[in-house]
Structure 1
Amino acid sequence: MQQPTVILDAKGLACPMPIVKTKKQMNELLPGDVLEVQATDKGSAADLAAWSKSAGHEFLGTKVEGQVLHHLIRKGGVQEEEPMISEISLNAFQQKVKEDQSLFILDVRELDEYEAGHIPGAVHIPLGEVEHRAEELTRESDIYLICHSGRRSELAAQKLKEKGFQQLINVVPGMNSWTGAIEK
C-alpha cells in the first residue's frame, strides 16, 4: 500500500467521529497527500469510502491488522460545492412518523446496528450498498434517510441525488437520539 503523509488515530471512535476527524485533518493536507486513518469501527470502511468520493478525494483502500482498520485516502484537488440535501429535525420526523405510517424510511446503518433496533417499517440498505441498490427505491415519494447520527444518511442522500433522486430528506440527528418505537 501507499505510504501515508500523515497518520490519524481514530481508534475507539464510533460514527460520525472518524469522518469528523478525517475531514478536519484533510483540510490541513495538500492535494496528492495521503492520509492513513486508523480506526476500529467496522462501519468506517464504507463511511470513509463514501465520504472520500463525495468530497472529491480518492479512497485507496483498507488494510486490516487485528482489530485495527488502516484506511488510505489521497487528497483531491479543489472541491466543487456539494448539492444541498434537505434535512428534518429528529423531533419533527418523530411527529411525522406518529401521524403518517406510510412514510418511506431508509435506514443506512450497518446490519448489526439495524438489527439492534430500527424504526418499524424502515427499509434497510447499508451505506456501502446504496449506490448499487438504488433501483430498489421509489422515485415517486419522499425518502427519509436515517443512520446513527445523520452523517452516513447525508452521504447516502448525496449518492442517490447523483443517481437522479430528488425527494430526499436527511433525519438529523439519527437513531442515537430516537425515542419512538423500535423493532428488533
Structure 2
Amino acid sequence: MITPNYVLDAKGFACPMPIVKTKKTMKNLEPGQVLEIQATDKGSTADLQAWAKSTGHEYLGTKTEGDVLHHFLRKDGANTAAETTVIPEISLENFKEKVENGENLIILDVRELGEYEAGHIQGAIHIPLGEVEQRSDELKKDACIYVICHSGRRSELAAQTMAKQGFKQLINVVPGMCDWTGETVK
C-alpha cells in the first residue's frame, strides 16, 4: 500500500485539467514525496504516465475503486524536467481546412478508445497515448504526422515521445477534437 504525502482531488475533470492540477501541486512537494491524484477521467492513466515520464517524476501505479482512479506519483529528486523538443502546432481551423480540401494527411488520434469510437476524423490512425511508445513503429519516421487528441495536451505528450524515437515531422493539432466541427465517423 502506497502512503501519499498529499492527495489531489481531480474527480470530475477531463483532460487536460488532471495534468494541469497535478503539475501545479507537484511544485509544492519536496523531492521524493508521493502525490495521490484521484480522478474519474479514464484517459488520466495514460496522461499521467506520459507526463511523469516526460518530466522525470516516477509513476508508481494506479488503484481503481469504483469509478475513481487513484494515481500515485513520486516527485523527482533532480527537480528538473527532461529535455523536450518543441513540437510545431497547427490551429484547428487551419487543420480543418486541410482535411476539408482533401489533402493527403497522416492523422494520428491518441485519445482513448471510447473517445475515438464516439467520433473521429475519417482515415485517422488510432493509437492511444499509453501505447504510442510501443506502437510508433506502425508509422513512418520520415512522414509528416498530424497528432490530435481531445484538447492538445495528450497529442503534445505523444509527439514528444515520438520525437525522442526519431520522428522528425510531427505537428500538434490545437485545441483538438473538443472543438472539432468537421465531419466525423463512428
- Which of the five TM-score ranges fits, normalised by the shorter chain? over 0.9
5+ residue gaps, structure 2, are none
Alignment of 1:140-151 (within 5 A): 140-151=142-153
SS state at 2:89 partner: strand
2:38 is aligned with 1:7: no
Question: 2:81 — aligned with what?
Answer: 79
Q: Mind listing any 5+ residue stretches in structure 1 that lack a counterpart?
A: none
> What does the per-residue CA deviation read over 1:2-49, in whole Å, with 9 as the maximum and x for residues that have no partner?
211110000111111101100111111121111000011111111101
- Seq. identity, %: 66
Give distance in 2, aligned partners of 1:22 and 1:113. Answer: 22
Superposed CA offset, 1:100-157 (max 9, x none)? 4310000000011001000111000000111110100012221000000000000100
How far apart are 1:80 and its partner, in Å?
A: 3.7
| Partner AA of 1:154 in structure 2 | E
Contact 2:54 2:82 in 1 (8 A): no
Which amino acid in structure 1 is aligned with residue 96 of structure 2? Q
Q: Which runs of 4+ in 1 moved over 6 A?
A: none
SS at match of 1:14: coil
CA shift for structure 1 position 81: 4.0
* Separation in 1, partners of 2:174, 2:132: 19
1:91 maps to a residue whose letter is E
Are 1:182 and 2:168 an aligned pair? no
Query: 2 CA distance for matches of 1:179 and 1:102?
Result: 19
Q: TM-score, with normalisation over the residues of structure 1?
A: 0.97
Report the counterpart of residue 37 of structure 1 in structure 2.
37
Shift, 1:99, TM fit = 2.1
SS in 2 for 1:106: strand
Aligned to 2:13, what secondary structure does the other structure show? coil
Q: Please report the TM-score for the alignment, with normalisation by the length of structure 2.
A: 0.96
